[in-house]
């Protein structure tokens, strides 16, 4: 029977292994670290033509990077296995438990908390990697988010990081009297009352700028983590109150389309010219181009409304402690992040700041966006976003938090009522897990 991996299972297994010292793939980490610190095993550059690196990812498109790397390291093969976004996390965790992981994992920041409190990934601050020399070349927030939960080890090396952006139909907004220029629209939407007025006017013509009442809170969620590294609850500032009330107003006035863009109903709304705005990462442009090629030239991109600066996600490389080719695997990771990314990364922004600054200087008009150039905008937004720490309970806790917010909107709860409910339910569900995690670090 296929095993379903849960946070509790991983947490218990880690604690048991740590206490018992029994033989396990995880318990081999310290032995491997001691060996690689003095002598990389079996993958020196002179035998690189005999090596096949394995990499697991949750997205494709790695061929250009691999081509550049194998041109430098002749004869090396890089085999990539791609999993769906919904299944990759469990596949990765299962491989660590079974003791048969790939050399390299590509992990999304949203699931990084599932890996940062367990064994099985190399500390890239240690020899022979010594990645700490690159620390100043990354956002300090992104760097910290790639550390183990105890903050003592660097277990991820950031490859790309995407700010949240607004995609909008410039023609529809202009038709009904609203700003269509990206900079003007971004400024206009800074005030919630302007955004609400736009939603009301467009609704009269059966056009929507929100799919769900909680869209606004989701934007806030991307700008603020649920917990800090000490599990202090973070979403209790004045912006939360302002945006929770905005979400209630969307629900009260029926300003949401009540469809999902990832389902056919949402896509039909776009094809019928009834959806004027979407909020996604910078990778959203590729989705729009694929889904709606006939609308090329009609879309534009600007910053988020409400003066929010959201971090959509990042992709990070991690190196398996059971890899037999650690030295070469690290060379691949290092090459991808610090050399290949200097040419830019398709659909997102390099995490490596020297590459990001170079990309900023390259204005590339995009025909789908009516000739708009977006590189400078992406870099500006990234400079204002905060890549928050992702804890081992974040994925499940965020899902619970979203459910509590939905219920609060439906019940017309006050800000204090919904916050009280959030604290009570989150503490009831995760209090013991938090206690174990804090005690164990």
Could you tell me the CATH number of the domain that includes residue 125? 3.40.190.10
Sequence-separated (6 or more) residues with CB below 8 Å from residue 140: none
**What distance in Å separates the CA atoms of residue 43 and residue 188, rounded to the nearest whole number?**
56
139 in any annotated domain:
yes
Residue-level pLDDT at 21: 35
* DSSP state for residue 123 in the 8-state scheme: -
Q: Does residue 37 surpass a pLDDT of 70?
A: no
Rounded to whole angstroms, the Cα distance separating 200 from 194 reads: 10
Q: Is the pLDDT of residue 8 over 70?
A: no
* Whether 257 contacts 211, CB under 8 Å: yes
Per the CB < 8 A criterion, the answer to whether 113 and 318 are in contact is no
The three-point CA angle 389-390-393 to 5° equals: 140
- Does residue 3 carry a pLDDT above 50? no
* 6 domain residue, yes or no: no
- SS3 (DSSP) at 368: coil
Rg of the chain in Å (alpha carbons) = 23
At 296 the pLDDT is: 98
Average pLDDT over residues 11-23: 37
49 CB neighbour count, 10 Å cutoff: 11
Q: How far apart are the first and last CA of the chain?
A: 33
CB-based contact 188:179 (threshold 8 Å): yes
Pairing type for strands 52-57 and 77-82 reads parallel
Shared domain for 181 and 263, answered yes or no, is yes
Q: Span 82-92, mean pLDDT?
A: 97
Residue with tokens 């590189």: 375
CA-CA-CA-CA torsion sign (38, 39, 40, 45): positive
Residues 77 and 110 in one domain: yes
239 and 366 in a single domain? The answer is no
Residues near 7 by beta carbon (within 8 Å), at least 6 away in sequence: 114, 392, 393, 395, 396, 433
Regarding whether 177 and 92 lie in a shared domain, the answer is no
Residue 382 lies in a domain: no
66 in any annotated domain:
yes
Residue 179 is assigned to a structural domain of this protein: yes
89 belongs to a structural domain: yes
Mean pLDDT, residues 4-28: 37
CA distance 80 to 94: 18
Q: Is 320 helix (H, G, I), strand (E, B) or coil?
A: strand
Residue-level length of the chain: 441
Same domain, 254 and 396: yes
Do 294 and 328 lie in one domain? The reply is no
Is residue 376, in this structure, part of any structural domain at all? no
Which residues make beta-bridge pairs with 315? 108, 160
Contact 305, 191 (CB under 8 A): no
Number of domains in the chain: 2
Is a pLDDT exceeding 50 seen at residue 7?
no
Q: Residue 370 pLDDT more than 80?
A: yes
- Whether residue 285 is found in the same domain as residue 398: yes
Q: Domain range spanning residue 251?
A: 163-311+387-440
Residues 198 and 306 in one domain: yes
- Check whether 28 has a pLDDT greater than 80: no
pLDDT at 1 over 80: no
pLDDT of 361: 83
Q: Please indicate, yes or no, if residue 13 is contained in any of the structural domains.
A: no
- 306 shares its domain with 184: yes
pLDDT digits (tens, 9 = 90+) for 95-145: 999 999 999 999 999 999 999 999 999 999 999 999 999 999 999 999 999
Q: Give CA–CA dist 181/43, Å, rounded.
A: 54
Whether residues 213 and 112 share a domain: the answer is: no
Q: Note the pLDDT of residue 273.
A: 98
Which residues have a Cβ under 8 Å from the Cβ of 98 and sit 6 or more positions away? 25
Q: Are residues 132 and 196 in the same domain?
A: no
pLDDT at 162: 96
271 contacts 265 by C-beta, under 8 angstroms: no
3-state secondary structure 73-109: CCCCEEEEEECCCCCHHHHHHHHHHHCCCCCEEEEEH
Q: 93 with 13: CB under 8 angstroms?
A: no
Q: How confident is the model at residue 349 (pLDDT cuts 50, 70, 90)?
A: very high
Q: In whole angstroms, what is the distance from residue 209 CA to residue 197 CA?
A: 11
DSSP states along 4-18: PP-HHHHHHHHHHHH
What confidence score (pLDDT) does residue 43 get? 46
Q: pLDDT class for 384, splitting at 50, 70, 90? A: very high
Q: Are 87 and 303 in contact (CB under 8 A)?
A: no
Give yes or no: residues 270 and 412 share one domain: yes
- The mean pLDDT of 390-407, rounded to a whole number, is 97
Model pLDDT, residue 360: 87
What is the reported pLDDT for 441? 82
């Amino acid at each position: 029977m296929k095993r379903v991996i849960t946070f509790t299972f991983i947490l218990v297994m880690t604690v048991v292994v740590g206490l018992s010292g029994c033989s396990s793939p995880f318990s081999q980490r310290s032995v491997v670290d001691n060996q690689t610190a003095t002598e990389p095993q079996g993958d020196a550059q002179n035998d690189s033509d005999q090596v096949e690196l394995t990499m697991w990812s949750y997205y494709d498109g790695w061929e250009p990077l691999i081509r550049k790397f194998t041109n430098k390291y002749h004869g090396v093969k890089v085999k990539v296995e791609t999993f769906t976004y919904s299944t990759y996390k469990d596949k990765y965790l299962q491989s660590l438990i079974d003791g048969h992981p790939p050399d390299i994992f590509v992990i999304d920041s949203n699931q990084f908390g599932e890996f940062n409190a367990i064994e099985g990934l190399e500390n890239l601050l240690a020899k022979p990697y010594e990645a700490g020399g690159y620390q100043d070349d990354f956002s300090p927030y992104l760097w910290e988010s790639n550390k183990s939960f105890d903050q003592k080890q660097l277990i991820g090396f950031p490859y790309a990081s995407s700010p949240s952006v607004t995609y909008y139909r410039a023609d529809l907004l202009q038709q009904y009297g609203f700003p269509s220029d990206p900079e003007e629209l971004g400024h206009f939407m800074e005030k919630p009352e302007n955004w609400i007025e736009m939603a009301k006017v467009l609704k009269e013509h059966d056009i929507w700028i929100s799919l769900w009442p909680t869209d606004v809170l989701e934007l806030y969620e991307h700008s603020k983590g649920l917990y800090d590294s000490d599990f202090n609850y973070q979403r209790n500032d004045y912006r939360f109150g302002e945006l929770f009330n905005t979400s209630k107003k969307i629900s009260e006035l029926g300003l949401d389309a009540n469809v999902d863009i990832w389902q056919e109903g949402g896509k039909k709304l776009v094809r019928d010219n009834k959806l004027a705005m979407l909020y996604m990462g910078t990778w959203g442009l590729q989705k729009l181009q694929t889904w709606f090629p006939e609308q090329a030239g009609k879309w534009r991109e600007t910053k988020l409304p409400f003066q929010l600066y959201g971090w959509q996600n990042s992709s990070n490389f991690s190196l398996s402690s059971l890899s037999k080719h650690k030295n070469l695997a690290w060379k691949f990771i290092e090459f991808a992040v610090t050399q290949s990314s200097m040419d830019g990364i398709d659909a997102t922004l390099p995490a490596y700041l020297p590459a990001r600054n170079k990309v900023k200087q390259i204005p590339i008009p995009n025909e789908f966006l009516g000739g708009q150039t977006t590189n400078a905008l992406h870099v500006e937004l990234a400079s204002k976003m905060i890549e928050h720490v992702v804890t081992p309970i974040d994925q499940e806790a965020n899902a619970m938090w979203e459910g509590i917010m939905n219920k609060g909107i439906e019940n017309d709860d006050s800000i204090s009522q919904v916050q009280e409910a959030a604290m009570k339910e989150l503490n009831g569900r995760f209090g013991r897990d938090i206690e174990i995690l804090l005690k164990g670090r």
